[in-house]
Structure 1
Amino acid sequence: MLSDYLRRQDGVITDEQARAAGLSRRSVQRRVQSGQWRRCGRGVYFVDDR
Structure 2
Amino acid sequence: VDKQKELNKAVVEWILLDNQPLSAPRKKGFRRMITKFDLRFHSPSDR
TM-score (ref. length: structure 1): 0.34
More helix by share: 2
**Which has the greater radius of gyration?**
2
More strand by share: 1
